[in-house]
């Protein structure tokens, strides 16, 4: 006989149920078409439970973005996560770029729909616009650290005189949710095909 759930575990499961419901509704109906009431109904909780747990609909979306990008609720920065350390520790420049593409694929398979909700809503909501800018800045920070490592591994010289800053710009574009959305969501590429294309594109753009 299974042990009864602790109060903390019940709370965690309820919170996750609300986030899962919000993810489905945001993907299906967008930011404006999703309400706190619809989240509560889909999660089978009271409306006040959603408000008590998160405070606002924006806070639901922010936590959903944080957890889908990370893959969990642990407060660990991207650059401190094992996959990012593997990118930085990889001695071969081409294999580093392949690891970057693989890491981006894993994140975007989870988070692309949520990122698109934030991006689309940012035009009309100042708080979500700031959330989108923050997310993009975080992604650039990660890519800049990867690019600095790449420059060192490539002997200090990248293709066409690119430095770490412009290499990060290229990686931000190639591995970004906008490009992934066009090719995978809109054009029907598989995530595997996108990953292969992205890695090959980065090598062609950046390595001598």
178 in the same domain as 95: yes
**Residue 194 falls in which region: left (phi positive, over 0), alpha (psi -120 to 50) or beta:** alpha
Q: pLDDT tens for residues 97-140?
A: 999 999 999 999 999 999 999 999 999 999 999 999 999 999 99
Residue 60 lies in a domain: no
Q: What is the mean pLDDT of residues 5-33?
A: 95
Residue 200: give its domain's CATH number.
Answer: 1.10.357
Provide the pLDDT for residue 2.
64
50 in the same domain as 153: no
96 in the same domain as 197: yes
Q: Write down which residue in 36, 55, 74 finishes a domain.
A: 55
113 in the same domain as 42: no
User: pLDDT over 70 for what percent of the chain?
Assistant: 99
Residue 203 pLDDT greater than 70, yes or no: yes
Q: pLDDT tens for residues 39-51?
A: 999 999 999 999 9
Residue 4 lies in a domain: yes
Q: What is the mean pLDDT of residues 155-181?
A: 97
46 in the same domain as 3: yes
Provide the pLDDT for residue 118.
97
Residue 7 pLDDT greater than 90, yes or no: no
Q: What is the mean pLDDT of residues 161-177?
A: 98
Residue 61 lies in a domain: no
Provide the pLDDT for residue 94.
98
User: Is 54:60 a contact under the CB 8 Å cutoff?
Assistant: yes
Q: What is the pTM of this model?
A: 0.92
Helix, strand, coil share of the chain (percent; to 5):
80, 0, 20
118 in the same domain as 45: no
72 in the same domain as 46: no
Average pLDDT, whole number, for the chain? 96
Q: How far apart are alpha carbons 95 and 38 in whole angstroms?
A: 45
Provide the pLDDT for residue 4.
79
Q: pLDDT tens for residues 51-100?
A: 999 999 999 999 999 999 999 989 999 999 999 999 999 999 999 999 99
43 in the same domain as 71: no
Residue 177 lies in a domain: yes
Number of domains in the chain: 2
Give the contacts of 37 (CB within 8 A, at least 6 positions apart): 47
Residue 103 lies in a domain: yes
Which domain does 13 fall in, by range?
1-55
Residue 1 lies in a domain: yes
77 in the same domain as 44: no
Residue 42: give its domain's CATH number.
Answer: 1.10.10.60
Q: Which residue has the tokens 């609720």?
A: 73
71 in the same domain as 19: no
Q: How many CB atoms lie within 10 A of CB 19?
A: 21
88 in the same domain as 186: yes
Q: Write down which residue in 35, 55, 75 finishes a domain.
A: 55
72 in the same domain as 49: no
Provide the pLDDT for residue 1.
60
């Amino acid at each position: 006989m299974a042990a009864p759930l602790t109060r903390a575990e019940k709370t965690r499961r309820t919170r996750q149920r609300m986030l899962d419901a919000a993810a489905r509704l945001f993907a299906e109906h967008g930011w404006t078409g999703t309400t706190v009431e619809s989240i509560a109904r889909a999660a089978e909780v009271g409306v006040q439970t959603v408000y008590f747990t998160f405070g606002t609909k924006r806070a639901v979306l922010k936590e959903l973005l944080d957890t889908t990008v990370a893959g969990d609720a642990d407060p660990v920065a991207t650059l401190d996560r094992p996959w990012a350390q593997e990118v930085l520790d990889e001695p071969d420049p081409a294999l580093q770029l392949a690891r970057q593409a693989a890491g981006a694929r894993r994140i975007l398979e989870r988070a692309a729909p949520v990122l698109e909700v934030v991006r689309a809503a940012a035009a009309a909501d100042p708080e979500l616009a700031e959330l989108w800018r923050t997310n993009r800045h975080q992604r650039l920070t990660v890519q800049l650290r990867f690019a600095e490592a790449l420059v060192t591994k490539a002997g200090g010289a990248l293709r066409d005189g690119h430095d770490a800053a412009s290499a990060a710009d290229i990686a931000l574009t190639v591995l970004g949710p906008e490009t992934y959305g066009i090719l995978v969501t809109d054009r029907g590429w598989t995530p595997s095909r996108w990953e292969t294309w992205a890695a090959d594109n980065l090598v062609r753009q950046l390595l001598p």
